[in-house]
Amino acid sequence: MRKSRIKAKLRQKQPVLLTTLHIPDPQLFELTSLMGFDAIWLDLEHHGFTEETAANLTRATRVGSSDIMIRPAKGEFMKMCRLFEIGATGIMYPRCDNAAEAREVVKWAKFAPQGQRGIDSAGPDNPYCMMPLTEYLTAANAETFVVIQIEDPAAIVQADEMAAVPGVDVLFLGPGDYSILAGIPGQMTHPIIKEAMQKVSAAAKKAGKDWGMPIFSTEHAQEVMELGGRFLCHGCDLLMVKNGLEEMQKKFGPLGVTFEKRA
């Protein structure tokens, strides 16, 4: 079974860097993985990709060295099994409210005795029934990871309990939704966000777990790492393309080239 790059590096107390890809093109996923990023974040919470599309993007990722972390929507516990079966290395679960919900995530993400995930083993994660069943069950539990997202000020008071759940590998602060629900939309440097970072950091440290969040700059990465965060997610293909196109417009505008922007 394919080993997790993320888990191996976190065990060695090394930082990991993920990037987000939204454009559903297998070539882009293959290129990113061949370049050696620790993982690609594929989001199924906010995008209408089918599981078949996700499977093809995951297959392309497996050409290179990157893990692939897939985020289902809140409450999609049974879907997590299929995401692992198409080759996901990790699951990011959004909007987790409490330890009971975190335990439910682990329950459906891990095989017994850690959980109650159902068995198929005919997918690429086994791969394709090539591993003996007992070896596969042990490897699957060891080489997949669970990331629990905290995105609500009402949930952060449960951070200690969530971090303490066996099978939870990473606590992940979602500052976008957190800022909106806290009444400070988009203010990522607000003291409320700084306080949330401190609370998630303390909960992860207390439980001996890792934590992370979206990273906005190398300076921000340093700030997170000083708080013990090693799970760093930076960049998005859509923004990279948008920034590149805007840079082109800036260069050619002075030459008299005009653009008809629509928003």
DSSP for 161-214, please give it: HHHTSTT--EEEE-HHHHHHHTT-TT-TTSHHHHHHHHHHHHHHHHHT-EEEEE
Kindly report the pTM of this predicted structure: 0.96
pLDDT tens, position by position, 19-46:
999 999 999 999 999 999 999 999 999 9
262 within domain boundaries: no
Q: Give 233's DSSP letter.
A: E
Q: Quote the DSSP letter at residue 221.
A: H
**Residue 205 counted as domain residue:** yes
263 inside domain: no
16 vs 118: CA distance, rounded Å: 29
> Is 90 exceeded by the pLDDT of residue 9?
yes
* Percent of the chain predicted with pLDDT > 70: 100
Note whether residue 122 is domain-resident: yes
Q: So what's the pLDDT on residue 95?
A: 98
> Which CATH number fits the domain that encloses residue 98?
3.20.20.60
Tell me the per-residue pLDDT of 175-225, one tens digit each, with 9 for 90 and over. 999 999 999 999 999 999 999 999 999 999 999 999 999 999 999 999 999
Structural domain tally of the chain?
1
Q: Establish if 76 belongs to a structural domain.
A: yes
Report the SS3 class of residue 41.
strand
Average pLDDT over residues 66-89: 97
27-to-67, 228, 238 alpha-carbon distances in Å: 16, 34, 15
Which residues form the domain of 198? Answer: 5-255
Domain presence at residue 261: no
**Does pLDDT of 263 surpass 90?**
no
Strand 210-214 and strand 170-173: the pairing is parallel
Omega cis (within 30) before 113 = yes
Question: Is 248 within the bounds of a domain?
Answer: yes
Look at residue 162 in the predicted model and tell me its pLDDT: 98
